[in-house]
Structure 1
Amino acid sequence: SGHRRARAMGLYGATAGLSMVAGQILGGVLVAAAPLSSVFGESAGWRSVFLVNVPVAAVGLVLAARVVPETRSERPAPIDVPGTLLLTVSLVTLLAPLTEGRAAGWPVWTWVSLALFPFAGYAFYRVERRADRRGLTPLVPPSLLRLESLRRGLALVVPFSIGFGGFMFVIAVALQQGLELGPAAAGLSMAPMAAAFFVASLAGPRLILRYGSRVVTAGGLIQATGVLVLAITVWREWSGLGALGLLPGVAIAGFGQGLQLPVLFRIVLSDVPAARAGVGGGVMTTTQQAALALGVATLGTLFLALVPGAGMRDALAVTLLVQLAAVVLTTLLSLRLPRRVA
């Protein structure tokens, strides 16, 4: 609680954002190294990215066993099986067609799946509300969403993550297929974003003490400036664009993101009771991950649909402007946040 809680949330937000950018960089390096190509042939290079989960999971298991304290409840709550299944169906019926629809030519199953999504989502809400009213432990308690800080914080996390996820996917495709950069070079082009994000996340806690949630608003304005600079750079310097040309835009955007994401995580969980910390954290991370995937599906589909007719440069510029709209929405919504951040 108190200062320790704020510090923990700040560290979590900084680590989460930095690791997403670092994953883009390390993924490019890993693909370029192509450790599987000597065994399975040249086409196996990109598949090697899945191996990164093996050492990460192994280290995670060791650290969890040594560091994480035991928190087993004397009366553990049962798993919300109906809620879990309905949430899974809801996410799959939304994300699967958006992700695979364009490549598959939008067959009938994609439209059927999208039509089923609102019904699955409504059924999930009804099941969770019924369990909450009966005093059970639903996967996502509707009563938890009555917390103003959590509700408003999630409203900002969604557009932020949609724009972030879409950008990381689109920029990788554009640099490798449009400018014909290697995967390592394309990944390393994002290094200034990671560095700026890290610096901003370190400065964030002190700024929050002085300016409160207005740090999120300032971060949104800075990120919007970076995305706009990047769009103009793409439009004017596409043919000769490289890591140096990308540096100002991605660095400015990364700094703004570093001021936003850690604070948003703190806001979402600031009023969640300790007894519901696990549920609150689960709601936050599920929302974030779903929004990241939705960003890849929507902005990625838009970008790939524009490429054949408009070309890579114009498609990237338009997609960046759409991301800019998401950043502006996040910035405007941040004005409604309470000034003080716990």
Structure 2
Amino acid sequence: MTASAAMSAGGPDAGRRWVALGVLVCGAFLTNLDVLIVVVAMPALRHGLGADPGDQQLILAGYQLVYGAGVIAGGRLGDTFGSFRVFGIGMTLFTGASTVCGLAPSAGVLVVARLFQGAGTALMVPQVYRAAQLLFSAERDRRMAFAVIGAAMGVGAVSGQLVGGWVLAADVAGLGWRAVFLVNVPVGAGALALLPWVSGPRRQRLPSAGQPASARSRPDLDLAGTAVAVGTLGLCTVPLVVGRDLGYPLWCRLCLVGALPLAAAFVRHEREVERRGRTPMIPPRLLRSTGFRRGLALLTLINSGVTSFLLVLGLLLQEGLEWGPLATGAGLLPAAGSFALASLLAPGLARLFSDRRLLCLAAAVACAGYAMCAVSAWCGAVPWLMAALGVAGTGMGCFLAPALAMTLRTVAPADSGAASGVIASVQQLGAALGVCVFGAVFFSLTGAGVPWLRAFALTTCAVAPTTVASGVLAALWPVTSRAAPDSSGRTHGRGDTVPADGM
């Protein structure tokens, strides 16, 4: 069955595919926006709800903790029940929790609602990657799909402070900080309203590409593997997210150490599940795929650098230069705009360069941007710093979408949900690790009395090697990458057709 035939039978027809991707991308945008938009509202939350430092920490970190711990399970649920169905549940949960956040009468209610927001995010994000893999069979369309996803997620991440600053400055309907959460509601409601149309009529679930026609049963859920995976990710995520503010107490270090044997137990369990002929949470063949492992390393490096750079930049503008929330958000616009534009241009550039050359070129541009940022900040030339942010954003934007596409190209469609969950989890952990390491560098410099601009310059120099390493790893990428075999033993690479499989 061809891709278009499968889509008309069990998913959106050709005319709805891009609209379907747009609906899913709304979720990816909101989930990244929500990470930083709350940072801007913290002073207002402290005043309006009387949130103490512990409450503030939970409001900020609780969302990321649940998201990071649950995203792999969200990916496998997409393989089991279909991406549109799981996305709809996740968006409903996220939108409802956002409403509760905006109406919260106390800090405790807000903390709990933020946890549910994180759960909704863990369900939504893997479906976006999975949709790009399954909705589009043509390599050119897939590249553009990943470009749109990369642009939306990048802009969501870097524009959180801009949107938050504007919402607080405008004081929409006198809502104050509550509007920061309620801004999610109309977008979520619109996505949910469109979801039944883009997902098409409810039909029998189709087998994934490469499976025999008789294989129409859903993959069974590996509940024990899910529990161990969530526990392992929790032990990794909690210390990275909250450790810095707590001074990395002993229990944080014990959590990181304890994650190692739990991860080993998870791998053994998954192999045993596969040996018994059942569906593992993460198919071991994914982890045996050299291309997939290489892609995970690539995404970990780039996310650790980009996220920590943007965090330190926001701190510099808001606290070091004492810009207001709106001005701080505007200061991030050069990075946001160039990132989005470069992401959308990346598929066209990929037709001129090979994937490896494009990634190497993007890494070089990003490194040049970092160097310009460091020199401008060291010299105190803030206008030149704004221009340098545009160069850095261009390199980052040209890197992310091709890296995602290259990584998922090595994965069989039957494993696309699990792979998407792993990728999203690795991105989250990479970002947390980068903030942990480079945030510590930045705060140690400012704590030692180094001027803010020079501390930013030195931290940027420390961040740049992550991009250099990404470029080197991309240069070593094989010319062609074969997908991991699915349960039928077949592989799926460039040129294979994939069904929407009931999405």
Aligned twin of 1:329: 469
CA deviation after TM superposition for structure 1 residue 61, in Å:
2.0
CA deviation after TM superposition for structure 1 residue 72, in Å:
6.2
- Greater Cα shift, 156-165 or 268-277: 268-277
8 Å CA contact 1:150–1:269 kept in 2: the answer is yes
2:217 pairs with 1:75: yes
Aligned twin of 1:232: 375
Compared CA separation, residues 71 and 212, structure 1 to 2 (3 A): farther
Compared CA separation, residues 194 and 140, structure 1 to 2 (3 A): same
2:145 pairs with 1:2: no
Which protein has the bigger helix share?
Answer: 1
Q: 1:25 & 1:101 partners in 2: Cα distance?
A: 27
Aligned twin of 2:235: 93
Q: 2:225 & 2:165 partners in 1: Cα distance?
A: 37
2:389 pairs with 1:253: no
Residue number among 253, 258, 279 corresponding to 2:418 in the alignment: 279
- Aligned-residue sequence identity (percent) comes to 33
Compared CA separation, residues 152 and 111, structure 1 to 2 (3 A): closer
| Residues matched between the structures, number | 332
CA deviation after TM superposition for structure 1 residue 236, in Å:
0.9
2:110 pairs with 1:110: no
Q: 2:433 & 2:168 partners in 1: Cα distance?
A: 24
Q: 2:390 & 2:181 partners in 1: Cα distance?
A: 28
CA deviation after TM superposition for structure 1 residue 339, in Å:
3.8
Aligned twin of 2:190: 59
Written as runs of structure 1 = structure 2, the 5 A alignment for 1:109-188 is: 109-188=251-330
Q: 1:87 & 1:120 partners in 2: Cα distance?
A: 8
Aligned twin of 1:28: 165
Aligned twin of 1:269: 408
CA deviation after TM superposition for structure 1 residue 184, in Å:
1.3
Flag structure 1 segments of 5+ consecutive residues without an equivalent.
none
Structure 2 residue identity aligned to 1:121: A
Structure 1 consecutive aligned stretches of length 4 or more whose deviation exceeds 6 Å: none
TM-score by length of structure 1 reads 0.87
CA deviation after TM superposition for structure 1 residue 285, in Å:
1.9
Aligned twin of 1:11: 148
Flag structure 2 segments of 5+ consecutive residues without an equivalent.
1-136, 206-215, 482-493, 495-503
- Greater Cα shift, 80-89 or 1-10: 1-10
CA deviation after TM superposition for structure 1 residue 325, in Å:
1.1
Q: 1:155 & 1:98 partners in 2: Cα distance?
A: 18
Compared CA separation, residues 104 and 62, structure 1 to 2 (3 A): same
Compared CA separation, residues 102 and 56, structure 1 to 2 (3 A): same
TM-score by length of structure 2 reads 0.61
8 Å CA contact 2:165–2:326 kept in 1: the answer is yes
Query: Could you report, residue by residue, the CA deviation over 1:213-240 in whole angstroms, capped at 9, with x for unpaired residues?
Result: 21000000000010111111111106xx
Q: 1:14 & 1:81 partners in 2: Cα distance?
A: 34
8 Å CA contact 1:98–1:301 kept in 2: the answer is no
- Greater Cα shift, 175-184 or 106-115: 106-115
CA RMSD, aligned part only? 2.4
Q: 1:322 & 1:124 partners in 2: Cα distance?
A: 34
